[in-house]
Structure formats: structure tokens, C-alpha cells
Amino acid sequence: MKQVGRRIEPPLLAEPSGAALADGLAFSASVAGLAGGRVFFPKGVFRYKSHAEANAHQAACLAEGMARLARDRRRG
């Protein structure tokens, strides 16, 4: 296996640091930006009779959210 890069893990510190907080906030902001700040899945607790039913609900929510996102991007 070929290794392309090397990730340097930050050290675990007993005291919090501002740099670590800034890194965490930057990561959270980049993840939130992936969907344009939109949430595809509704909030709440859902109970399903089977895994298949849960997967179907997840797929339906994702498809609806992606369609909404595409429609909003088309409008400008």
C-alpha cells in the first residue's frame, strides 16, 4: 500500500487551548457548508417497524432535500 501523506495528530492536552477551539469551529463550519446550511432530515424521534422502513424514510428525506437544494441553486 502506498502512503501519500502523513497526518499529524494534535496532542491531547489537560488544559483547553484557543487554537484547538478555533480548529474545531473551522471544521464544524466546513461540515455545515457541505449542505449549504440546510438540513435534509427532520428533527424528532422516529420509531420504525423495521430497518427497511427506516432506510426508506432516510432515502425519501435525502431525495427531497437534494431536490430542494437543486431547485434553490437553479433559481440563483
Give the H/E segment covering residue 18. Answer: helix 18-33
- Residue 40 near residue 64 (C-beta atoms within 8 A): yes
Q: Residue 11's pLDDT band (boundaries 50, 70, 90)? A: confident
For the whole model, what pTM was predicted?
A: 0.51
- As given in the structure block, the three cell numbers for residue 16 are 483547553
Could you tell me the residue ranges of all domains in the chain? 39-76
Model pLDDT, residue 70:
87
pLDDT tens, residue by residue, 21-75:
898 898 888 877 776 666 778 889 999 999 999 999 999 998 998 888 888 888 8
Cell numbers standing for residue 7: 497526518
- Contact between residue 36 and residue 69 where contact means Cβ atoms under 8 Å apart: yes
